[in-house]
Structure formats: C-alpha cells, structure tokens
C-alpha cells in the first residue's frame, strides 16, 4: 500500500483571495454553473467581490456566461494536462523573437500549440498601444476558429484531418464534423496553405482579429503557431504588406531557432 496522505488542513498563512478563486472553480466544476448571488452567498463575500472573481475566471477561460447570464464552466475547466513535454522549452526558446515582433508591430503576439481539436496559448507578449489585445495565456480555443489553430491544421494532410474530425474517436471526443462542414474546413485550410497564413475575424471573440502562421519542428513537421492579435478597429493592420513581411521574417527566424535547438514533437 502507498503512504497514507496527511489529513488536509487549511494552511497557516492561507491567502483568502486565492482560496476564494479555487473554491469558485470547484463550485462551477461540481454544480455546472452558478449565478452571481449564488457565488456571493456560498463564498460569504460581497456581490462586488464575487463579480471581480468571476470576471477574472471568464478572462482566463475558466468560466463563461450562458444565454441566461449565469456563469458556467469555461473551456479551460475541462482541458486535460498537456501531453506535450516540449512546450516549456518552446516558450523559452522563442520568447525573445515574439517580444521583438510585438515591439516592431506594437501589437500583441501569442504563441500556441494544438492538443486534439483545440489550441492552447502558451504565452502572449502585449503591444504597447492603449487599445490593445490583452494577455491570452492559457486560453483554450477551437482550432478551426483560432488563426493559429487554422495555421497548424493546414500543416496536416487530409488523412490526419479525417482522423481528427471524422473518425469514431472524434465522435467520442465531441469534435466530429459532418460531411458538409468537413468539406468547408478542407477548403478553408487549402486557402490557408495558398496564402501562408490564416485569419480570424471575430470568430473566437467579439472585437478581435488575428493573423496566424505555423511553426515547424526540427524535422519539418508543423509544431505550433504564432498569431498577431489586434482590436477589430485596427483589423486592416493585418493586411498591411509590412505586417506580413515582418511576420514572415519572424516565422523564418523562429523556425531556424527550433531547428538549431533540435526541437521536435517527441522532445
């Protein structure tokens, strides 16, 4: 038998704000949803404090609001631990390149990778403009909608895409697509390959536009992607030849960095 766990005790120097946030995650996870008044009552805090906590969980994708304005578990709540051991190394390896690109464009830049039919944002380097897209680190999104997700999917062949979206496993995972929807996906990915980049125009979030490009492993396989994120009011920035040129240059430099480091999907 394994060693028996010690009895759980509240830490001597407990941080109430952290404890409230973690308890709120448990409430949403175990009850399927709650209203602001429910949260305030269960945590014994003021409605304004409950609202601040819920706002942060929505921002980090651990909560969302349904059509009745109740708070329900968000995509990050059910995301399993990443099975990819190379993600931390990738984040460290490319940080300076992402920072440089964000500085050159003065717009936010995110790095993401795919697990199953979803993408996860590893890090975001924010632009310096007053009106800018904020930190999206940890965000879990449908790969078919996120610019970086589309760029990653475009790097896979049809056989892989059929396993991901048309197989029995896809039905079990909830990512199954009907024939017509799968056909639209294939056409969109073919256009992405032709252009060399993918666009997201408010498909994942109102008021946000993004342009994503794929990154490749040492062996040449698609590994991850990066995206430039802008408010929709500056969406035209993503079609500017200078933006595309700077992103293409950054892509080439990051791919070289990855090859030099020998980073692969199995690393």
The pTM of the whole model exceeds 0.85: no
- Element of type H or E holding 120: strand 118-125
pLDDT value for 34 = 86
- Reported as a single tens digit per residue, the pLDDT across 76-129 is 776 666 666 788 899 999 999 999 999 999 999 999 999 889 999 999 999 999
- Reported as a single tens digit per residue, the pLDDT across 190-219 is 999 999 999 999 999 999 999 999 999 999
Nearest partner of 211 among 201, 199, 221, judged by Cα: 199
Task: Check: CB of residue 108 under 8 Å from CB of residue 126.
Answer: yes
- Go through the chain and tell me how many residues it has: 267
Q: Which fold has domain 16-78?
A: Arc Repressor Mutant, subunit A (1.10.10)
For residues 131 and 133, give the distance between their C-alpha atoms in angstroms, rounded to a whole number.
7
CATH 1.10.10.10 residue ranges in the chain?
16-78
Q: Which fold has domain 87-261?
A: Beta-Lactamase (3.30.450)
């Amino acid at each position: 038998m394994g060693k028996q766990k010690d009895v759980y005790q509240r830490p001597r120097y407990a941080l109430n704000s952290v404890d409230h946030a973690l308890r709120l995650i448990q409430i949403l996870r175990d009850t399927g949803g709650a209203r602001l008044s429910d949260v305030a009552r269960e945590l014994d805090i003021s409605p304004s404090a409950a609202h601040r906590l819920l706002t942060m969980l929505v921002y980090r994708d651990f909560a969302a609001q349904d059509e009745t304005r109740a708070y329900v578990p968000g995509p990050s709540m059910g995301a399993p631990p990443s099975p990819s051991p190379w993600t931390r190394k990738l984040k460290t390896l490319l940080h300076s390149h992402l920072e440089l690109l964000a500085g050159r464009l003065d717009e936010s830049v995110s790095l993401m990778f795919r697990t199953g039919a979803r993408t996860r944002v590893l890090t975001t380097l924010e632009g310096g403009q007053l009106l800018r897209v904020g930190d999206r680190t940890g965000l879990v999104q449908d790969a078919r909608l996120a610019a970086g997700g589309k760029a990653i999917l475009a790097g896979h062949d049809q056989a892989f895409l059929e396993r991901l979206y048309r197989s029995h496993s896809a039905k079990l995972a909830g990512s199954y697509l009907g024939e017509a929807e799968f056909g639209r996906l294939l056409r969109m990915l073919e256009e992405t390959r032709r252009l060399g980049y993918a666009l997201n125009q408010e498909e994942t979030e109102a008021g946000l536009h993004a342009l994503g490009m794929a990154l490749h492993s040492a062996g040449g396989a698609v590994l991850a992607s990066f995206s430039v994120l802008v408010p929709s009011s500056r969406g035209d920035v993503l079609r500017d030849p200078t933006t595309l040129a700077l992103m293409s240059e950054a892509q080439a430099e990051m791919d070289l960095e990855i090859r030099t480091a020998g980073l692969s999907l199995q690393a």
